[in-house]
Structure 1
Amino acid sequence: MKLLIVEDDATTGSYIARGLREEGHAVDLVDNGREGLIAATSTAYDVVVLDRMLPEVDGFTILKTLRGAGFTTPVLLLTALSEVEDRIEGLQAGADDYLAKPFAFGELSARVAALARRPQALEAETVLRAGDLEMNLITRKVTRSGVEIDLLPREFALLEHFLRRKGRVQTRTMLLESVWDIGFDPGTNVVETHVSRLRAKVDKPFERALIETVRGSGYRIVA
């Protein structure tokens, strides 16, 4: 198996990596959260062993980022916190298993093997497309006909919403709830304004419009 260990304690990290390598696994070891997140999103691993408390980027942030981007790689969370509430929090953040420190290497090895045996769900899409428009959810890069389009965070979220529901009409209420997290009509033209701005960037510079207005219903991006 190919494994990633993200552990900032040098002694613990070396201990885990050495033991797993002796069992015949290929192991990458990093000692901070930023490098761990980069490694986890750029290389295919069978299992990630992740410490909760890390410098630069903490384990929970890494977990939430991976799951939010659609990565289904099994993650074993290591932590010195062993209360039930801590375990629940870790699992809710996206961990597949939880091991409290101190631990026996044999148990860690068995848990890693068990995670690797689990049937994995199909990898979620990380690139969304409509015609010549492409959105990379990992790099947050949007291009059309190879031309990069600079979007503000809300514009990106709005376009992502359309792309995930390609060809389906999205009402004003749907957009308010999904993109703005507003469960009522604020009585403003916030949706219309952002759709107009998005069109100016995604459609106007190109020959064919992708975002359509469906009169009396809402908007959709053509399939």
Structure 2
Amino acid sequence: MDGPSGTGKSTVSRRLAAAVGAAYLDTGATYRAATLAALRAGLDGSASAEQLVAAANGACIESGTDPDGPTIRLDGDDVAAEIRGGAVTAFVSAVSALPEVRDRLVAAQRAVITAALATHGGIVVEGRDIGTVVAPDAPLKVYLTASDEVRAARRGRQDARAGRGGDVATVLADVRRRDRLDSTRAVSPLHRATDALLVDTDELSAEAVLAELLRLVSERGLLS
């Protein structure tokens, strides 16, 4: 499941995994954890690529795959809430664009996928390069999309529920900034895989998107 932020990837990916009894992996959380590792090391935008890679790749990042309670740990700490903060959000595109960081995390993500297939029989993986890089042979690839304004409104509501402030204009500007950075980076840019099915979520509720995804899963014969 690929697509930019605010398309509903996390919500529907978790619900889909729970509905079909599969494992779940949020790859974006791993990049956010790596970014938090760099911030905890006292690094910022003025740091060299070598410093950022050393901090990010020197950290122990662990992803839990239960869709009803996914976890992300950094050096043993539960950082699920902290990685969604403004400091990480502002810096994650820069850290995730580093080839050495992506190489290490993609390898870790593939290991999680392999383990989940062996133990659960299936996994729903969400991110920005799943269909193109992480799992190019996946039997079903979906690319979620929505307008900038709709995505910004969703992000704003999500932030408000989590107690994070931010006016609509600021959130919209951040959504567009992330899109630009993620789609133009040299390594694993955000784009739709040629064989990914496009689902526009502009006018769809999470329940409607989930229903469409379940239909696609069934159509592909992926339910045991």
Q: Bin the TM-score by the shorter chain.
A: under 0.3
- TM-score computed with the length of structure 1 as normaliser: 0.26
Q: Which structure is higher in helix share? A: 2
Q: Which structure dedicates a bigger proportion of its chain to strand?
A: 1
TM-score, scaled to structure 2: 0.25
